[in-house]
């Protein structure tokens, strides 16, 4: 492959952004069906899917049916992101205990099994998962893991000086000259295999998450070195990594002979979009920002329209290009694309994002509609949004679905009104026509007006009794005070509400958690995991009031305050009791709210 080919290839970074920026909504997309679905209901789906998944985390921090590294990194990522996006700490204990246990006892650059090949793809994706855990809970341990793994990956980073010298790169003992002309333009690339010095393969699922993490760490620390490295890696992806013929990112490049695998994968596009969205935002207002925004628009348009992984209605399916399938984890590949689009949406407000925002919102809405109707059986999900609904529970399906569900509630307005009871149903009772044998309990649907009125009337009757009890109690207390010594006093709460919690872990797990939270070179066909089990019978999972949630309101905390203080005002007491009665009825009848973002 001669120098002329590489010169043409390197021109992609200049001409690519001007091509394929069609962000009009295809006529086959139906984007109106979930317009009336509230953020609360969307969030309930996401929480229920997460609870079903968390049940299968075992004591060593892996899943019951897999120790595959990138699947586990994605699982902890979506759990942390769910808490970040909802403003909760539902899964804090799970991540603080189980994720730490796993990370501390394995080599994160391996695949979770002894003797497995170490890859920079594994390490940098665990670094990214650790960063999300840090952002969700503020634990410096996870930031340290993230930065250390970033530094370790940097050992295989191709710097501009090494690329320009066209000589052996870090960790490589290859004496080949730059006969193809590619290596001199390989700055920002990262060798995939840290321990194989004669391998010059660079993969997008290493470079992409490295650039994403570099952007996050720059924003977190202000260290411009992260920004410089991230932009160089992004340049590599838009240059040597860009397939101009298909207008999309390629997954594998051998930077010495300039060989490329042109197989198609939504995850590869996702990593490119992810990095573009972050750095277009960081550099907004500059020429670099304008260029990156153009590249982002092109990449999003292609990723949302390609028949390689979308149907005519826009729903994601498994990659059809089996001759060059690049991702062993098909379920995770689709999830990464959706995660990237969700990040893009958060960094481009609707007031300025225009057609890009509308296109992404429509695409994500389609995935949400499909995953909750065609791909769901109770709290169990298929490995593709297109379905069909699973007959067996697979952890992979729920990991995939969580990215779709998280994105759906995150983009919904926080002040969306809950639809009327005639149009709102609980997550566990809608979607698939198959009988639900969910691993999570149904979330009760809103009560009918008659039931509410009856409850209020009964509550008022009970209130009258309580007021009578109050006067009797107050009389007894005054007599007791007369007998007490001057230094003695006491306050007894009128009642102490019981806090129901969910225990998604299997019985006997040492770390119970409250439930209101590759490869070989130029791989052949990917595979679907056959690690599946029968759907479990529905356990008793009471509605959760998160004990560590950030959205515990003042009214909730007031119900824990002693209500019979000797200076209590009776009208205020009555008003508070009525408020609590009505609030508790809502807590039973409505899907759970997990807090503000």
pLDDT at 454 exceeding the cut of 60: no
**Three state DSSP letters for 54-92:** HCCECCCCCECCECCHHHHHHHHHHHHHHHHHHCCCCCH
Please give the torsion angle defined by the CA atoms of residues 213, 215, 218 and 220, in that order, rounded to the nearest 10 degrees.
-70
Q: Kindly report which listed range (3-12, 222-231, 494-503) carries the lowest average pLDDT score.
A: 494-503
- The band of 581, judged by pLDDT with boundaries at 50, 70 and 90, is very low
Question: 51: which 2 tokens?
Answer: 């609870």
Q: What Rg do the C-alpha atoms of the chain give, in angstroms?
A: 27
- pLDDT value at position 378? 93
How many Å apart are CA 209 and CA 146, to the nearest integer? 12
| Backbone torsion region of residue 185, taken as left when φ is above 0, otherwise alpha when ψ lies between -120 and 50, otherwise beta | alpha
> In 3-state terms, what secondary structure has residue 501?
coil
Considering only residues 537 and 173, tell me which one the structure prediction assigns the higher pLDDT. Answer: 173
Per-residue b or e along 393-422, where b marks 16 or more CB atoms closer than 10 Å to that residue's CB: bbbbbbbbbbbbbbbbbbbbeeeeebeeee
DSSP state of 283: T
Q: Give residue-wise pLDDT tens across range 251-277.
A: 999 988 888 887 788 999 999 999 999
182 or 153: which leads in pLDDT: 153
- Roughly how many angstroms between the first and final C-alpha of the chain, as a whole number? 51
Q: What is the 3-state secondary structure (H, E, C) of 524-574?
A: CCCECCCCCEECCCCCCCCCCCCCCCCCCCHHHHHCCCCCCCCCCCHHHHH
Q: How far is CA 264 from the centre of its chain?
A: 23
And the tokens for 582? 């009505």
Q: What is the pLDDT of residue 554?
A: 32
* pLDDT at site 115: 61
Q: What confidence tens digit (pLDDT) does each residue in 302-345 have? A: 999 999 899 999 999 987 654 445 555 778 899 999 999 999 99
- Per-residue pLDDT at 455: 44
Domain segments of the chain as ranges: 3-429
User: Measuring CA to CA, how many Å separate 30 from each of 27, 202, 266, 306?
Assistant: 8, 39, 21, 17
Q: From the DSSP assignment, how many helices (H) and strands (E) are in the chain? A: 19, 9
Compute the Cα dihedral for 533, 125, 104, 521 and give only its sign. Answer: positive
Between CA 229 and CA 7 the distance in angstroms is 23
Backbone angles phi, psi at 233, to 5 degrees: -65, -40
pLDDT in tens, 353-368: 799 999 999 999 999 9
Quote the pLDDT of residue 506. Answer: 28
pLDDT at 229: 98
- The two most distant CA atoms of the chain are separated, in Å, by 102
Per-residue model confidence as pLDDT tens digits over 178-230: 556 788 889 999 999 999 888 889 999 999 999 999 999 999 999 999 999 99
Contacts of 596 by beta carbon, 8 Å cutoff, 6+ apart: 87, 414, 550, 551
261: which DSSP letter? E
Residue 427, strand partner residues: none
For β-strands 201-203 and 252-254, DSSP reports them as antiparallel
Give dist(CA 510, CA 558) in Å, integer: 33
User: Average pLDDT of the chain?
Assistant: 73
Q: Cα 437 to the chain's mean position, in Å?
A: 25
Q: Would the pLDDT of 160 be above 60?
A: yes
In this structure, whether the domain defined by 3-429 belongs to CATH 3.30.1370.30 is answered with no
Predicted confidence at residue 261, as pLDDT, reads 85
Mean pLDDT confidence for 147-171: 87
Q: Which residues, at least 6 apart from 51, have a Cβ–Cβ distance to it below 8 Å?
A: 379, 440, 502, 504, 515, 517, 541
pLDDT (tens digit per residue) in 10-63 = 333 333 444 457 899 999 998 776 667 899 999 999 999 999 999 999 999 999
What pLDDT is stored for residue 271 in this prediction?
Answer: 97
Contact call for residues 378 and 397 (beta carbons, < 8 A): no
């Amino acid at each position: 492959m001669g120098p002329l080919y590489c010169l043409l290839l390197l021109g992609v970074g200049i001409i690519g952004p001007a091509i394929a920026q069609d962000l009009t909504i295809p006529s086959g997309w139906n984007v109106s069906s979930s317009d009336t679905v509230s953020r609360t209901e969307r969030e309930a789906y996401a929480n229920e899917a997460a609870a079903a998944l968390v049940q299968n985390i075992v004591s060593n921090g892996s899943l019951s049916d897999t120790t595959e590294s990138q699947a586990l990194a994605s699982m902890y990522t979506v759990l942390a992101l769910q808490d970040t996006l909802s403003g909760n700490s539902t899964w804090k204990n799970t991540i603080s205990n189980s994720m730490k246990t796993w990370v501390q006892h394995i080599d994160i650059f391996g695949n979770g099994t002894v003797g497995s090949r170490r890859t920079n793809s594994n390490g940098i994706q665990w670094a990214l998962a650790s960063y999300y855990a840090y952002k969700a809970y503020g634990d410096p341990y996870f930031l340290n893991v993230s930065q250390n793994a970033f530094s370790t990956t940097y050992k295989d980073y191709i710097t501009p000086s090494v690329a320009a010298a066209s000589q052996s790169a870090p960790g490589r003992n290859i004496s080949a000259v730059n006969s193809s002309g590619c290596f001199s333009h390989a700055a920002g690339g990262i060798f995939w295999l840290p321990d194989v010095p004669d391998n010059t393969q660079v993969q997008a699922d290493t470079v992409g998450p490295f650039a994403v993490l570099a952007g996050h760490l720059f924003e977190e620390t202000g260290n411009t070195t992260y920004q410089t490295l991230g932009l160089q890696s992004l340049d590599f992806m838009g240059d040597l990594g860009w397939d101009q013929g298909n207008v999309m990112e390629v997954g594998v490049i051998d930077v010495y002979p300039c060989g490329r695998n042109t197989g198609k994968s939504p995850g590869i596009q996702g990593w490119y979009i992810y990095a573009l969205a972050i750095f277009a935002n960081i550099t907004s207002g500059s020429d670099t920002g304008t260029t990156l925004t153009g590249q982002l628009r092109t990449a999003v348009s292609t990723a949302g329209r390609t028949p390689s992984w979308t149907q005519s209605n826009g729903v994601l399916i498994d990659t059809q290009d089996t001759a060059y399938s690049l991702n062993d984890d098909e379920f995770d590949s689709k999830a990464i694309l959706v995660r990237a689009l969700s990040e893009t949406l958060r960094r481009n407000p609707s007031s300025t994002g225009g057609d890009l925002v509308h296109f992404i919102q429509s695409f994500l809405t389609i995935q949400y509609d499909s995953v909750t109707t065609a791909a769901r059986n109770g709290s169990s999900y298929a490995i593709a949004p297109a379905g069909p609904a699973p007959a067996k529970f697979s952890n992979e399906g729920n990991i995939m679905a969580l990215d779709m569900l998280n994105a759906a509630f995150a983009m919904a307005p926080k002040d969306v009104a809950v639809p009327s009871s005639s149009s709102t149903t609980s997550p566990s009772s809608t979607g698939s026509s198959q009988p639900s044998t969910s691993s999570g309990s149904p979330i009760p649907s809103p009560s009918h007006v008659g039931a509410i009125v009856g409850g209020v009337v009964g509550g008022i009757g009970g209130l009258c009794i309580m007021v009578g009890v109050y006067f009797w109690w107050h009389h007894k207390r005054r007599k007791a005070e007369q007998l007490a010594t001057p230094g003695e006093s006491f306050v007894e709460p009128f009642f102490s509400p019981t806090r129901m919690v969910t225990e998604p872990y299997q019985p006997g797990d040492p770390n119970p958690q409250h439930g209101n939270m590759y490869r070989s070179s130029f791989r052949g066909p990917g595979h679907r995991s056959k690690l599946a089990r029968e759907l479990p019978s529905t356990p008793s999972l009471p509605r959760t009031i998160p004990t560590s949630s950030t959205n515990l309101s003042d009214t909730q905390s007031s119900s824990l305050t002693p209500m019979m203080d000797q200076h209590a005002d009776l009208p205020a007491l009555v008003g508070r009791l009525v408020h609590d009665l009505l609030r508790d009825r809502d807590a039973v009848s409505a899907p759970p709210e997990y807090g503000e973002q």
